[in-house]
Amino acid sequence: MTPRLTVLGAGVMGTGIATLVIAHGIPVTLVDIEPAVLERARASVDRQLRHAQLLGATPDGVAPGELTTSTSVADCAGSLAVIEAVSEHAEQKDKVLREVSGIVAPGTVLISNTSGIPIDELAASVERPGELVGIHFMNPPYLITQVEVARGPRTSDRTMESVRSLLDLVNRRGIVVNDAPGFVTSRLLHPMINNAARLVGQGVATAEDVDALMTGCLGHPTGPLRTADLIGLDNLADSLVALSERLGDAAYLPCEHLLDKVEAGQLGRKSGAGFYEYA
């Protein structure tokens, strides 16, 4: 029988990760506490899968895996691995990982898709800390072929071997980094986005001009503010707060312009508007 993966959290990242796994013929159980969120997530996965197929980002001759949705964390039992992709709040991640750890069999790899909460901090929530590792998937996971793997100080060699095997199954290359707040990608990218948003808020330049300068002069592939809209401005603000708290540096706190957009519900692509507007 084909091994099954469980993804916890049916938001932007959870649906993107589920799409990636299903595209490689592996069945997925997608878990969220809200039935309406799961209903939207199923439509989102179908849409993203078609997008990936149109762009040639799915393996040839592989039938998509089955997507099952559930509102019960108990349905993660028997999974090859469990990927936690809930909101970037330590308390929520702690609660979910603590519950999952008591359900899955020993040897089941637990993966947090945190963008910056240290893995060893999250390891305090699980019964077997050696089985917890971070994989920071970039959005959209079904198109970006490289991931950041965060190894905690208690993550075992066996877990790392399992992660390498799992990434091979979905044709992804992992770059392993040591545990730290923000790891590498968020520690570099998120402050840059925050500063770009600050410049727009101060009237120094428009979002379009900031992105044009970053793409045309400095080689950024999409521009920091288009990237922010893809990440989700609420997710970005949460990540910046987490970085500030763990590094003890107020310079990481989200700027006023970014917070104003979050307050106004302008969260990026997922809400139809952020720094840009979307159909």
> pLDDT tens-digit profile of 30-75?
999 999 999 999 999 999 999 999 999 999 999 999 999 999 999 9
The catalytic residues are 136
CA 220 to chain centre: 20
5-178 and 185-269: identical CATH topology: no
Chain segment 127-139, per-residue pLDDT in tens: 999 999 999 999 8
For domain 5-178, the question of CATH label 2.60.120.920 is answered with: no
pLDDT at 215 over 90: yes
Q: The tokens of 250 are what? A: 């107020």
Cα 263 to chain centroid distance, Å, stands at 22
Give the model's pLDDT for residue 2. Answer: 67
Is 60 exceeded by the pLDDT of residue 193?
yes
Q: Is the pLDDT of residue 1 over 60?
A: no
Whole-number Å distance between alpha carbons of 143 and 203: 34
Which CATH superfamily does the domain covering 185-269 fall into?
A: N-(1-d-carboxylethyl)-l-norvaline Dehydrogenase; domain 2 (1.10.1040.10)
Q: Quick count: other Cβ atoms within 10 Å of Cβ 220? A: 17
* Residue ranges per structural domain of the chain: 5-178, 185-269
Percent of the chain with pLDDT over 90: 95
User: Mean pLDDT over all residues of the chain?
Assistant: 96
Q: Report pLDDT for 41.
A: 96
Interval 67-93 mean pLDDT: 95
